[in-house]
A and B are shown apart, each in its own frame.
Chain A
Amino acid sequence: GNSVTQMEGPVTLSEEAFLTINCTYTATGYPSLFWYVQYPGEGLQLLLKATKADDKGSNKGFEATYRKETTSFHLEKGSVQVSDSAVYFCALPLYGQNFVFGPGTRLSVLP
């Protein structure tokens, strides 16, 4: 079945540092891939997604490219801000309308 492996944090960076959060997946076929973000005290919200191989999802300065060859969907941002401090989840469909989520990576950005 589909599964996702995500680097576990916490990750602590200084403002304006470069961010990479690794995500690799195992899937039947080529499902859409997602990154969700959870800010403190809130529910998860979609950050970006990619629907097919070589697609790049982007939003709020974050990017992730759907790499079929390496079964990866790493999240990157060139210059993080304090407001990016949150927990980030990689996710993909499990079956039907269900999703499987990675364990989450907590990011703390220091001023």
Chain B
Amino acid sequence: DTAVSQTPKYLVTQMGNDKSIKCEQNLGHDTMYWYKQDSKKFLKIMFSYNNKELIINETVPNRFSPKSPDKAHLNLHINSLELGDSAVYFCASSQYLAGGSTGELFFGEGSRLTVL
């Protein structure tokens, strides 16, 4: 039973199109994230939601819009896709621990987006 699942795994589309990536976690975690990994494997946080509320919104073009219908789901919608959006997008989740310590991140398998 997959802990963090995201769909689709591969997405090939034309410049200017709009696309969405969906993510679901069944771990009961209260925090979910979107990370972007570029071709050199560098990971960068994009967004983080805690109990459906946006808590981290890094410098990301406003063409990217996250939506969290409930704490188990965090979707990413991208408008007007550009060549530079080609990357692997990872969803992740974690649980805030008592005492303020930080739990580990659990990652999905990634969604490889290719913009032509």
Residue pair A99, B109 in contact (C-beta under 8 Å): no
* One of B11-19, B42-50, B67-75, B77-85 at the interface: B42-50
Contact (Cβ within 8 A) B104 A49: yes
Stretch of A16-24, A40-48, A71-79 on the interface side: A40-48
Please judge, given known A-B contacts A43-B90, A43-B110, A103-B40, whether A98 and B45 are in contact too, CB under 8 Å. Answer: yes
Per-residue 0/1 for A34-55: is the Cβ within 8 Å of any B Cβ (1 yes, 0 no)?
Answer: 1010100111111001010000
Nearest CB of chain A from residue B22's CB, rounded to whole Å: 15
User: Which residues of B, 19-72, contact A by the 8 Å Cβ criterion?
Assistant: 31, 33, 40-43, 45, 48, 50, 55-56
Consensus secondary structure, chain B interface: strand
Query: Cβ of A44 and Cβ of B90 under 8 Å apart?
Result: yes
Q: Contacts A43-B107, A93-B102: A87 and B41 contacting too (C-beta < 8 A)?
A: yes
Contact call A32/B40, Cβ cutoff below 8 A: no
B102 touches A44 (CB 8 A): no
Whether A99 pairs with B42 at a CB distance below 8 angstroms is no
Residues of A within 8 A of B104 (CB): 34, 46, 49
Within the complex, the shortest CB–CB distance from A30 to chain B, in Å, comes to: 11
**Contacting pair B109 A89 (CB below 8 A):** no
Query: A99 vs B41: C-alpha distance in the bound complex, in angstroms?
Result: 16
Q: A97, B101: Cβ atoms under 8 Å?
A: no
* Cβ-closest chain B residue relative to A104: B41
Check B101–A51 contact: CB distance below 8 A: yes
Q: Cβ of A98 and Cβ of B56 under 8 Å apart?
A: yes
Known: A34-B104, A43-B107, A98-B56. A103 touches B31 (CB 8 A): no
Which B71-115 residues sit within 8 Å CB-CB of chain A? 90, 92, 94, 96, 101-110
Contacts of B90 in A (CB 8 A): 43-44
Residue of B48, B50, B105, B109 touching A46 (CB-CB under 8 A): B105
- Report B's interface with A, CB cutoff 8 A: 4, 31, 33, 40-43, 45, 48, 50, 55-56, 90, 92, 94, 96, 101-110
Beyond A43-B110, A97-B50, list 8 extra A-B contacts (CB 8 Å): A32-B102, A46-B106, A87-B41, A96-B48, A97-B96, A97-B103, A98-B48, A99-B105
